[in-house]
Amino acid sequence: MPARRRTARDNRRRSLGQNFLHPDWAERLVGSADFQSGQLVLEVGAGSGVMTLALARRHVDVIALELDPVWAQKLAGVVRGGDVSQVRVVRADVLTFPLPSRPFRVVGNLPFGATTATLRRLLADTRIPLQRADLIVQWEVARKRSAIPADTLLGTTWAPWWEFELGDRIPSTAFKPVPRAEACHLVIRRRTPPLLPPSMSAAYGDFVRTWWTRRRGIEE
Angle at alpha carbon of residue 36, lines to 78 and 118, rounded to 5°:
65
Structural domain including 179 reads 9-150+158-196
Strand segments, DSSP code E, in the chain are 20-21, 40-44, 61-65, 87-90, 104-109, 130-138, 162-170, 175-176, 183-190
Domain count, the chain: 1
Angle at alpha carbon of residue 197, lines to 193 and 202, rounded to 5°:
140
Residues facing 108 on adjacent strands? 44, 135
Quick check: is 210 in a domain?
no
How many of the other CB atoms lie within 10 Å of CB of 220? 12
Quick check: is 109 in a domain?
yes
Listed residue (125, 40, 141, 52) closest to 89, CA to CA: 52
Average pLDDT of the residues of the chain: 90
The pLDDT value recorded for residue 13 is 46
Strand segments, DSSP code E, in 110-209 are 130-138, 162-170, 175-176, 183-190
Asked whether residue 3 carries a pLDDT value surpassing 80, the answer given is no
How many of the other CB atoms lie within 10 Å of CB of 120? 15
Asked whether residue 143 carries a pLDDT value surpassing 50, the answer given is yes
Amino acid at 97: F
Contact 43, 64 (CB under 8 A): yes
Asked whether residue 57 carries a pLDDT value surpassing 70, the answer given is yes
Peptide bond just before 177 cis, omega within 30 deg: yes
* 213 — pLDDT class (breaks 50, 70, 90): confident
pTM: 0.89
Contact 185, 168 (CB under 8 A): yes
Phi (first) and psi of residue 127, to 5 degrees? -80, -20
Asked whether residue 122 carries a pLDDT value surpassing 60, the answer given is yes
Quick check: is 206 in a domain?
no
Asked whether residue 121 carries a pLDDT value surpassing 50, the answer given is yes
The pLDDT value recorded for residue 215 is 72
* 82 — pLDDT class (breaks 50, 70, 90): confident
* 81 — pLDDT class (breaks 50, 70, 90): confident
Average of per-residue pLDDT across 62-90: 93
Quick check: is 184 in a domain?
yes
Which burial class, exposed, middle or buried, applies to 209 when counting CB atoms under 10 A from its CB (0-12, 13-18, 19+)?
middle
Contact 196, 161 (CB under 8 A): yes
Q: Say which range, 11-15, 100-104, 152-156, has the weakest mean pLDDT.
A: 11-15
Quick check: is 216 in a domain?
no
Q: Which residues contact 28 (CB under 8 A, 6 or more apart)?
A: 168
Rounded to an integer, what distance in angstroms lies between the CA atom of residue 177 and that of residue 139?
Answer: 17
The CATH number assigned to the domain holding 99 equals 3.40.50.150
* 12 — pLDDT class (breaks 50, 70, 90): very low
The pLDDT value recorded for residue 85 is 86
Quick check: is 186 in a domain?
yes
| CA 68 from centre of chain | 16
Quick check: is 48 in a domain?
yes
Quick check: is 112 in a domain?
yes
* 217 — pLDDT class (breaks 50, 70, 90): low
